């Protein structure tokens, strides 16, 4: 690395000196280098290195903006890629730094042209083509309707959710039949925005906003946060938010109890990072789970599972390092199901728990609720070969974080990623 990275020595306003116009100055200047975000950051927990913390990365962005580091600097390349983009640094930041937006600008600058990872190029090239997106999951039978109500509400079909988990949109429509779900809708562009093509990502969100006028309801936390950033909060509702809101107003949610082996099922939630950190939606899925089963709060539910969009494909080893303590927690919690609210998390946890031959099954929230409404899930879904439980995770998780911190003085953990908030439920 060609420049010393020390967030504590970088004064706000450094970006203004010789701006290259890569970052909006008002975003970059906001960081006061206090370090409150460090305990919340999963990559800092792994590396114990300031460069891999939010504060360190903002210092790197400032060095890029002022020309202290050039575009090809290997540390810039590595750190823009190593960051999960989970935005756990945002809710704990006293200065209101919008790190997720900074990262999008950073990657757009870093990953232009030849520097973009080839796999990211392939994936973004697939979902930009509407005719290809329409074919994703065609034979697996995701939800679809012929109608487009002028003011919605419309159910958005996430690109990969169509193909990988078509039952999620079917369950959503069983629960809320008023949601129309046109099959020819395009991609929201979150994949582009998070993978170095911010402008195209925003343009795709605007186009989807025109295709689906009025309220857009999504079952994918990452898509919800991206659409919200472009179209505005009033246009977008994540499914649990929508369901809780409608059920409170018309009392229409009628679900039974989910039972396993004659007892009430034990169900944990894995938060979606963007949903929780970007949209402050975390209470609603917990309320819905508690309506049909015993909700078990995982100690690290708010921390990233390592899926992080394309991260698990681009950096599989790091992704599994982030995932491992979460799988320990899930197995130690003695739950029957772990529920997700984002297809990336679903894929990540299904893969991780399968590799361990765990008995714990992964369901999207819509699938859990639809099963409760229908009188339960087929028992075979719980009959997998048992495997001895791994060592219990200490109660003071997340992820043994204190053990990973380097010797830099840190402020008290202000509640990493709002980890204490579920207690208020």
From 60-68, 94-102, 204-212, 218-226, give the range in contact with ligand SF4 by CB under 6 A. 94-102
Query: Can you count the helices (H) and strands (E) in the chain?
Result: 21, 9
Quick one: DSSP state of residue 135? H
Tokens of 413: 């953990």
Burial tier of 394 (Cβ tally within 10 Å: 0-12, 13-18, 19+): exposed
CB of 302 to ligand SF4, least distance (A): 11
Asked if 31 interacts with ligand SF4 (CB under 6 A), we say yes
Told to check if 45 binds ligand SF4 by CB under 6 A, we report no
Rank residues 31 and 123 by Cβ distance to ligand SF4 and give the closer one: 31
Q: Is 83 in the site for ligand SF4 (CB under 6 A)?
A: yes
Would you give the end-to-end CA distance of the chain in angstroms? 46
The neighbouring-strand residues paired with 339 are 269, 363
For every residue of 323-388, DSSP letters joined together read HHHHHHHHHHTT-SEEEESSHHHHHHHHHHHHHTT-S-EEEEHHHHHHHHHHT---GGGG-PPP-P
Candidates 11, 18, 25, 95; binder of ligand SF4 (CB under 6 A) is 95
Query: Which residues have C-beta within 8 Å of that of residue 212, sequence separation ≥ 6?
Result: 148, 152, 154, 156, 182, 185
The piece of 63-71, 77-85, 241-249, 397-405 that touches ligand SF4 (CB under 6 A) is: 77-85
Stretch of residues binding ligand SF4 (CB under 6 A), selected from 33-41, 143-151, 152-160, 384-392: 33-41
Question: How large is the C-alpha radius of gyration of the chain?
Answer: 21
Among 47, 62, 63, 87, binds ligand SF4 (CB under 6 A): 87
Q: Between residues 27 and 372, which has the closer beta carbon with respect to ligand SF4?
A: 27
Q: Which residue has the tokens 């891999």?
A: 52
| 32 touches ligand SF4 by CB under 6 A | yes
In the complex with ligand SF4, the residue whose CB is nearer, 237 or 318, is: 318
Cβ contacts of residue 350 below 8 Å, gap of 6+? 362
Count residues binding ligand SF4 (CB under 6 A): 27
Specify the residue, 42 or 398, whose C-beta has the smaller distance to ligand SF4.
42
Our finding on whether 97 is near ligand SF4 (CB under 6 A) is: yes
Which helix (H) or strand (E) segment holds residue 222: the answer is: helix 221-231
In the complex, least distance from residue 278 CB atom to ligand SF4, rounded to whole angstroms: 10
Indicate the SS3 state at residue 237.
Answer: strand
Please choose, out of 89-97, 132-140, 149-157, 402-410, the segment that lies near ligand SF4 by the rule CB under 6 A: 89-97
> Rule CB under 6 A: is residue 377 a binding residue for ligand SF4?
no
Binding site for ligand SF4 (CB under 6 A): 7, 31-37, 40-43, 54-55, 57-58, 83-89, 93, 95, 97, 99
């Amino acid at each position: 690395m060609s420049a010393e990275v020390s967030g504590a020595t970088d004064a706000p306003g450094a970006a203004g000196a010789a701006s290259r116009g890569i970052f909006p100055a008002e975003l970059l200047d906001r960081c006061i280098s206090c370090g409150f975000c460090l305990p919340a950051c999963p990559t800092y927990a792994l590396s114990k290195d300031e460069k891999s913390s939010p504060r360190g990365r903002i210092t790197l962005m400032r060095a890029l903006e002022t020309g202290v580091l050039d575009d090809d600097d290997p540390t810039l390349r590595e750190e823009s890629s190593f960051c999960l983009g989970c935005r756990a640094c945002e809710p704990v930041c006293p200065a209101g730094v919008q790190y997720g937006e900074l990262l999008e600008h950073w990657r757009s600058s870093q990953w232009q042209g030849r520097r973009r990872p080839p796999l990211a190029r392939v994936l973004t090239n697939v979902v930009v083509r509407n005719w290809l997106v329409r074919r994703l999951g065609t034979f697996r039978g995701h939800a679809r309707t012929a109608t487009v109500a002028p003011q919605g509400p419309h159910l958005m079909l996430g690109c990969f959710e169509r193909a990988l988990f078509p039952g999620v949109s079917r369950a959503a429509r069983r629960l809320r039949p008023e949601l129309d779900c046109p099959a020819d809708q395009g991609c929201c562009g979150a994949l582009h925005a998070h993978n170095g093509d911010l402008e195209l990502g925003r343009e795709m969100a605007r186009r989807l906003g025109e295709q689906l006028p009025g309220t857009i309801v999504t079952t994918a936390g990452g898509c919800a946060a991206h659409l919200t950033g472009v179209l505005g909060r009033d246009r977008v509702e994540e499914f649990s938010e929508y369901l809780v809101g409608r059920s409170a107003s018309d009392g229409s949610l009628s679900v039974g109890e989910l039972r396993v082996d004659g007892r009430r099922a034990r169900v944990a939630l894995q938060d979606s990072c963007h949903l929780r950190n970007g949209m402050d939606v975390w209470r609603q899925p917990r309320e819905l789970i508690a309506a049909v089963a015993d909700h078990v709060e995982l100690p690290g539910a708010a921390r990233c599972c390592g899926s992080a969009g394309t991260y698990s494909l681009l950096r599989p080893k790091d992704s599994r390092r982030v995932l491992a303590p979460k799988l320990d927690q899930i197995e130690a919690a003695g739950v029957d199901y772990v529920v997700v609210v984002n297809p990336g998390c679903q894929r990540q946890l299904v893969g991780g728990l399968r590799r361990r031959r765990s008995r714990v099954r992964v369901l999207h929230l819509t699938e859990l609720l639809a099963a409760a409404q229908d009188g339960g899930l087929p028992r075979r879904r719980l009959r997998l070969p048992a495997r001895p439980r791994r060592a219990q995770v200490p109660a003071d998780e997340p992820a043994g974080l204190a053990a990973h911190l380097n010797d830099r003085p840190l402020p008290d953990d202000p509640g990493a990623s709002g980890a204490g908030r579920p207690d208020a439920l």
